[in-house]
Amino acid sequence: MYGNNYPIMKAKSLLTLALLASMSMGVAAQQARPVVLERVERPASSPVLKAPSRLQAPTAEGDKQYLINYGGSTLYALGFGGVEVRFRAMLKVKPEDAAALEGTKLTQVGYYLAAKTAYSSPGMSDFHVFVSNQPEGGNDIAAVDCTGGDISTGEHWIELDEPYTITGESFYIGYETTMAANSSGIAISVSNNDEWENYSIYQYYQDQDTGEYVWGDIGWSPDYGEIQIYGLAEGNGNVQVIDLSLLGVSAPSIVKSGESTYFNAIVQNNSIEMLDKVTVNYTANGQQGTATAAGSFVPTTTSMVQFECTLNATEDVELQTVDVSVADAEGRQDDNMADNEMSCKTNVYKEGVEFNEPRGILMEQFTTEVCQNCPSGHQIVESVISDYDADIIRVAHHAGFYTDNYTISYSNQITPFFFNMDGGTFAPAVMVGRKCYPEIPNSYYYYSPGPAFGIAAEYLQYAFDDQVSMANLMTINLETDYDQANNVLNIKVHGQSKLTLDNPTVNVFITEDGLPEFSQSGWYGPGDWVHDHVLREVLTGISGQKLEIGADGSYEYSVSWNVKDQITGMEATTDVNPENINVVAFVGNYDSSDPNNCEVFNAAINEKVLSSGIGGAAELDGVSVYSNGGEVLIEGSFDGAEVYTVDGLLVRSVGQSDGMTSVQGLNAGVYMVKVNAGGNSSVAKVLVD
């Protein structure tokens, strides 16, 4: 499984292949039976393809280097069933790439092996890497036998004894091995491109008609993805197409006028050629400039180009646009400019304009009981938050890695949106202020395509430091009033804004602390796991409620919550403990078409908003109302009392009393007790267990 610092991706459904039972060559035949490929999570290893050590040092002066790599970076293992399997896993070099590399030499073959856990062996033997002009075995052009550490879990690069001179014709690179029964080891990447068709596995099996052992293609499909195999070539190829993509621009949300500001552009190299330099153009506040990043721009991975400029405001606060485009790589123009331009917006404010009040920082976690690394994720969050004096307001979405008894539909709907990963999600994960930090890597892309990112201490610190440094240009006040008689919580959110927003919105959440676990995976500590900050209900809809901001910058929004003793989620109905109910409100922007334009600029929380009415005294002199196990006790002098469910159903009535009155026979739950005395009445809320 993933280590504590890496998220777990929710696996998509996987087709099952029925294969002929196979044997290692030279071993007596067994009865044929199916062998099933089964996906398991990637072990806790490097999530991103690393170039081999020689990538930056070609063997001959003036040579260039080329990395043949069509796969992604998030890895899974393919497991085999109850029989031993001999197979060849391989990558077919595309004809256009083989032609462009004619005359260069393939010097190294790289591959990634996986296992069910980080501590187990892939279960491989008789392992060798090969170069071949045909997929089936027996006619390898070059091969290197591998043992020991070369067939352990992780990424490996094997140098060929004799480099293969590429002829311009398509060829195969890969590895051949025997897979032990009930083991896993082939690493694959699940992605949404069409590169899967360049990968295949050939299996060695006994033909049932002839009795001979033969190689046969077991078939491959996009449901499986790409096998992790790579090739390194050196020389002077004829690569004409340089294809770069601008994947993200990180801009400060709020910038002080006249101060130098850094922006980050995330650029991906989509070609097979190793690049040393990439240049971007930018236009900001009428300024035009260029920025160049030098380094190892590894094919299929991303690099960050940073540039600095100064924005100036003529008004107190101005919303300004920064346009960014990829200019060239090593002086060569990109042949595909369609994905090379992006814009970002930032609010530029003058000296003395900001509010003096501190900001509330919203941090939303993605966690479920199915996720075995989520307890570790929580512990990392706790350790980082303890270092900050800022008001960090937490909400836990039980989504990201399957669902559990505390999952509500809102969380399940917004999770893929804010991950911005074509439906892929994972846990443990967080988002801070719903702001995208593309420079924070995660384990699916090399950059974060949306506000959500995997939990690691350094990632949280980066986001918190950014949020703490942000000026406050939008205040928030949260007021709550509990109407005990009607069992309604009235909520009011108001404040002042100096920001220019596309679609200013307010969100109001009901959260609960102290919820018991049902079965938390991955928790081995003392005592039971307890869920805090759990999102229970959303009062403002999937996209929040639009804020009407007045000419003076003021805004106000009110909503009510009918207090419940149970909440029905996607999988179960769970009890509510009113003593642990909190209200969270936050204000910012919302854009239903762009998860990276939904930033939160302030947040507030009112905690334990109902606790004063639980088991306390009715507001009548000399009268107390409280529960004792399965009964409600009314102590004092009164004219009469009624006991209601939270839905307003009368379940008990008692007459005049001067002493202690016990109301028994109630089911477990929350009740409203109305007491009448001397022409006055008061309502107390009690919990019967």
pLDDT digits (tens, 9 = 90+) for 317-365: 999 999 999 988 888 888 778 888 998 889 999 999 999 988 999 999 9
Which residue matches tokens 């930018």?
Answer: 282
Residue range 614-688 in CATH 3.40.50.1970: no
| pLDDT score at 11 | 29
Residue range 477-512+536-612 in CATH 3.30.2000.10: no
Give the pLDDT confidence of 570-625 residue by residue, as tens digits: 999 999 999 899 999 999 999 999 999 999 999 999 998 986 544 444 457 778 88
| Best mean pLDDT range from 53-62, 206-215, 449-458 | 449-458
| pLDDT score at 71 | 74
| pLDDT score at 58 | 60
- Structure pTM? 0.72
| CATH code at 360-469 | 3.40.30.10
Where is pLDDT greater, at 461 or 649?
461
Alpha-carbon span 347 to 54, nearest angstrom: 45
Fold match between 477-512+536-612 and 614-688? yes
Q: At 121, is the pLDDT very low, low, confident or very high (cuts 50, 70, 90)?
A: low
Mean pLDDT of 494-506: 94
- Count of CA atoms in the C-beta half-sphere (13 A) of 595: 24
Identify the CA nearest to 398 among candidates 383, 388, 390, 409: 409
Where is pLDDT greater, at 276 or 423?
276
Q: At 57, is the pLDDT very low, low, confident or very high (cuts 50, 70, 90)?
A: low
CB proximity list for 545: less than 8 A, separation 6 or greater: 505, 506, 507, 557, 559
Instruction: Return the domain boundaries, the chain.
Output: 8-235, 244-349, 360-469, 477-512+536-612, 614-688
CATH homologous superfamily for 244-349? Answer: Immunoglobulins (2.60.40.10)
Mean pLDDT of 505-526: 94
Calculate the dihedral angle through the C-alpha atoms of 342, 244, 416, 264, rounding to the nearest 10 degrees: -50
Alpha-carbon span 488 to 486, nearest angstrom: 5
Residue 264 has pLDDT above 50, yes or no: yes
Q: How far is CA 22 from CA 35, 121, 258, in A?
A: 8, 21, 71
Residue 28, classified by CB atoms within 10 Å of its CB into exposed (0-12), middle (13-18) or buried (19+), is exposed
Percent of the chain with pLDDT over 90: 46
Mean pLDDT of 525-550: 95
CA 250 to chain centroid, in Å, comes to 18
Beta-sheet pairing, 287-297 with 260-269: unpaired
Tokens of 657: 């009393």
Tokens of 448: 């974060």
Alpha-carbon span 106 to 404, nearest angstrom: 50
